[in-house]
Structure 1
Amino acid sequence: MTALSTHDTSPGPSAPDGQGSRVSAAWLKAMALRYSMFLVLLLVIGYFSYRSARFGTVDNLQTILIAAAPFALIALGQTLVILTGGIDLSVGSVIAASGMTAAWTAKNYPGNLLLPIVAAMLVGLAAGAVNGFLVSRLNVPPFIATLGMLTAGSGIAYVIGGGAPISGLSSDFGKIANSSFLGLKVPVIVMIVGIVVLAAIMRRTAYGLRVYAVGGNRVASEIAGVNARNVLFSVYAVSGMLAGLSGVMLASRVISGAPDLGRGYELDAIAAVVIGGASLMGGRGTVFGTVLGLLLIQTLNNGLDILTVPAYWQNVIKGVLIVAAVAVDTWSARRRVT
């Protein structure tokens, strides 16, 4: 898992010299650790494919991708935040507030598909900006700042709907998330674009390097000339904006606004980032690792649903997986040091 959880671009362990055909046990062990999450994902896919013929169908693959899309957006934002050593607990309630805003806008201004999207993203951006201001300017611990926004955002979602869901929306609102292009649903396309863009930013731009620098050592990064406060503000703002986009897609999918939309989503987003190898201490993690963690969680959810495993057992399995992922990452990091 270490290759998925670091920003190191150096080549992985090389096979020992000699006869060339023999590979040492130590090399195999190092490679297994390096690509452990990918191997686990393949094993999970193989297991569910063996247990159910329905799992391996193209339709089911599309189902997994559609379910993963809203989580992917908030997981990408969460990746940025965690790379700086922070955490964003508010994305679930930001989804709810943004989804309700989109539904309210669609109901009061029917026929305009762009306006609900812009309104939802602005609400998410505003919430993220408040989080970023509290963390970067007032030095409020990220846990406390985003916990407060979690509570406030949930209340705002109920205020927008007057304590009730917003229904009776035009079917046009559903086109935002239920339309297809080149055989793919719009949320899946948005997810793919988001992954590609953020991966490029983190690997190819100075901004990506600054995010890693702030998370690795904020004091050292500031000495090197990085404006750590601006970086911190930006990652929370981006996280909120992506949560707003996720909220409008979720509301559009069911063509209604629900004040409890997105409840608990922040936990799956954090789990995806952690399972993908990111360090909660900051400075270590990749977009690719987050995508693998997300796909693993969504594949588990889908496969366990197909096998009719009770929801409470699904939570137990995901909890064990998160702890195991962190334990393996900590153990492998300790081995690298020694």
Structure 2
Amino acid sequence: MSTIDQVPPPAVPAGNPRRDLAFRFAPRYRVVWIALAALIILIAATASEVFRTDSLTLVTALAGVLAIASAGQLLVIMSGGIDLSVPAVVTFAAAIIVHQTEGANGRLAGAVVEVIAITAGIGLIIGVLVAVVRLNAMIVTLAMNGVITGVMLLWIGTTFSTTGQVPPNLSDLTARDVGFLSVVGIIAIAIILLLAAVLRSTTVGRSYVAAGTNRVAAEIIGIRVVFYEVGGYMLAAIFYGIAGIFLAGLLTTPDFTVGDAYQLTTIIAVALGGAALAGGPASLLCTMAGCVFVALLQQYLQAQSYSAGVSQLVNGLVLILAVALVTAGSGGRIRQLTSRLTARFGHS
């Protein structure tokens, strides 16, 4: 597992593969894989029905939607911000699909283009307010969440259309699967791999990572930090819109609350994936693993018949624990603790 555009580590003496692996797979990126393995073991022991083909297809579909939205959240966090407008943008995208198509296949392409254009505009406004006007990202995105919700109520209403349904072509696409993998999950993997390749292997991608790692240093070497920051918010909003389209297709009759869960779950997935909330390089593949963890956890809680309140409580605890472990891993505390325990018990 390699991370995206990390600052090159100090030279490692030849013939020391353990240290080289440690640089490429830092402790903060191991948290999500350990958590995912532990969850899989727990499910296998106590709720094996979660691993049925139909259940896994649903998990991969929901994980795919979450991964697309989380990719947007990760871009914002890599630039040093945080986006609280995710629920409204996801819901607005679903509402546009339903409202503009009235369930007709012939109007679907136009509605998708409209979603991309509107979400890009939303991201542009947020980006300008944060990067150019220099307003606080959390306040701006939280306020924009309310503005978008108000616009949606005035324009579309709470039922979205007379039928309330998405076009059959969209629902048919999102219902497809390859084995236990949902087509939505497969599309999400393709998007994640493409974005990872761009961030890792292109000048634009490397410049984006550098701008988020150290704004002042990036400006000194000639990187247009404002341009990349605004672009990051625009692309993030587009990802939220795409997630909203697929989510609408999965639900077939989305409602006004369809995006509510994504404010917290996108942050959980990104935090579990080892991203530093202060900005800088991160791993999209680890974020994808975080999305699978969240989707599997929700499916497990439902299989165990836990209430929505328990689910919210667990999500909050997972976020706190993820941030704590990633912070400890970033500071080397996990490695130090492991070394101390090994030294102590290894000689006992």
TM-score, structure 2 as length reference: 0.84
Q: Deviations over 1:78-107 (max 9, x none)?
A: 111100101111011011112111111111
The equivalent of 2:271 in structure 1 is 274
The equivalent of 2:128 in structure 1 is 133
Unaligned runs of 5+ in 1: 18-22
Q: Is the 8 A contact 1:97 1:156 kept in 2?
A: no
Give distance in 1, aligned partners of 2:29 and 2:169.
44
Aligned with 1:146 (options 141, 145, 161):
141
Q: Is the 8 A contact 1:83 1:284 kept in 2?
A: yes
The equivalent of 2:206 in structure 1 is 209
Q: Is the 8 A contact 1:4 1:277 kept in 2?
A: no
Aligned with 2:96 (options 101, 104, 116):
101
Counterpart of 1:178, as a letter, is: T
Counterparts of residues 86-97 of structure 1 (less than 5 Å): 86-97=81-92
Q: Deviations over 1:3-62 (max 9, x none)?
A: 769825769x99x98xxxxx9xxx9xx987762321221111111011123122222211
Give distance in 2, aligned partners of 1:67 and 1:153.
24
Unaligned runs of 5+ in 2: 337-348
Counterparts of residues 1-338 of structure 1 (less than 5 Å): 7=6, 35-107=30-102, 111-168=106-163, 169=165, 171-172=167-168, 174-175=170-171, 177-180=173-176, 182=178, 185-335=182-332
| Shift, 1:286, TM fit | 1.1
The equivalent of 2:344 in structure 1 is none
Give distance in 2, aligned partners of 1:164 and 1:56.
35
Give distance in 2, aligned partners of 1:32 and 1:236.
28
Give distance in 1, aligned partners of 2:26 and 2:69.
30
Identical amino acids, percent of aligned pairs: 25
Tell me the SS of whatever aligns to 1:35. helix
Q: 1:321 to 1:257 in 2, by over 3 A?
A: closer
Give distance in 2, aligned partners of 1:167 and 1:223.
55
Q: Is the 8 A contact 1:154 1:260 kept in 2?
A: no
Give distance in 1, aligned partners of 2:121 and 2:244.
14
Q: Is the 8 A contact 2:3 2:282 kept in 1?
A: yes
Q: 1:58 to 1:4 in 2, by over 3 A?
A: farther
TM-score, structure 1 as length reference: 0.86
Higher mean C-alpha displacement, 310-319 vs 235-244: 310-319
Q: Is the 8 A contact 1:3 1:34 kept in 2?
A: no
Higher mean C-alpha displacement, 41-50 vs 327-336: 327-336
Q: 1:171 to 1:74 in 2, by over 3 A?
A: closer
| Shift, 1:176, TM fit | 6.0
Give distance in 1, aligned partners of 2:131 and 2:328.
32
Q: 1:6 to 1:45 in 2, by over 3 A?
A: farther
Give distance in 2, aligned partners of 1:72 and 1:227.
28
